[in-house]
């Protein structure tokens, strides 16, 4: 279920702040419990950001450690890969989407609601960017069924034929941001 803060400014606990990933952030110290996610942050996130392939934001805790992070990118998907209700009245071509490419929360902070707030911030960033670079949806790939269930609580739905790829339509995102 979406965090009520998603419609406005996302509030994190006192002492926490969102920053764009920098080389001096302790990337290897963040342990989400998912080795692929942790490896991405430690070895590839900054490199991809420097090449303008993606943007990674980190949630910094009171002790200046990385509490969590998310990586956003843009892509195009063929209209045939999207569900019929999403492509109705859209051109029959590749369509722009925002991609929540990576998302991780340090194990010590899981189960405290911080992950929901971090996802709310990622979706807020997608929405804000879409005011300049329009998208028809936010898409993501899930590592496992537990992760998939987390996103489905936020109204992400499966893309037809892609069991671990989920989407949130532009209309759903816009409704979240309006607080509907």
Per-residue pLDDT tens for 152-173? 999 999 998 888 999 999 999 9
Residue 8 banded pLDDT, cuts 50, 70, 90? low
| Whether this model's pTM surpasses 0.85 | yes
Residues 6+ apart with CB under 8 A from 117: 3, 5, 10, 11, 12
Report residue 15 CA to chain centroid gap: 22
Separation of alpha carbons 162 and 139, rounded Å = 11
Rg (CA), the chain: 16
CATH architecture of 4-178: 3-Layer(aba) Sandwich (3.40)
The whole-chain average pLDDT of the chain stands at 92
Q: Residue 179, SS3? A: coil
Identify the residue with better confidence: 162 or 135. Answer: 135
Structure token digits, residue 48: 């991809």
Residue ranges covered by each domain of the chain: 4-178
Cα separations in angstroms, 2 against 65, 86, 87? 26, 21, 24
Q: Pairing mode, if any, of strands 55-60 and 157-159?
A: unpaired
């Amino acid at each position: 279920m979406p965090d009520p803060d998603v419609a406005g400014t996302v509030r994190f606990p006192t002492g926490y702040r969102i920053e764009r990933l920098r080389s001096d952030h302790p990337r290897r110290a963040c342990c989400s419990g998912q080795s692929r996610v942790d490896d991405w942050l430690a070895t590839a996130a900054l490199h991809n950001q420097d090449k303008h392939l993606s943007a990674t934001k980190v949630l910094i805790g009171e002790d200046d450690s990385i509490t969590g992070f998310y990586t956003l990118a843009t892509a195009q998907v063929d209209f045939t890969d999207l569900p019929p209700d999403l492509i109705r009245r859209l051109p029959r071509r590749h369509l722009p989407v925002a991609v929540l490419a990576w998302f991780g929360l340090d194990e010590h902070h899981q189960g405290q609601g911080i992950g929901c707030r971090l996802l709310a911030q990622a979706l807020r960033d997608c929405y804000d960017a879409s005011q300049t670079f329009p998208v028809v949806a936010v898409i993501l790939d899930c590592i496992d069924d537990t992760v998939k269930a987390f996103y489905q609580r936020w109204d992400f739905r499966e893309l037809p034929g892609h069991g671990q790829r989920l989407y949130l339509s532009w209309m759903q995102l816009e409704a979240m941001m309006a607080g509907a």
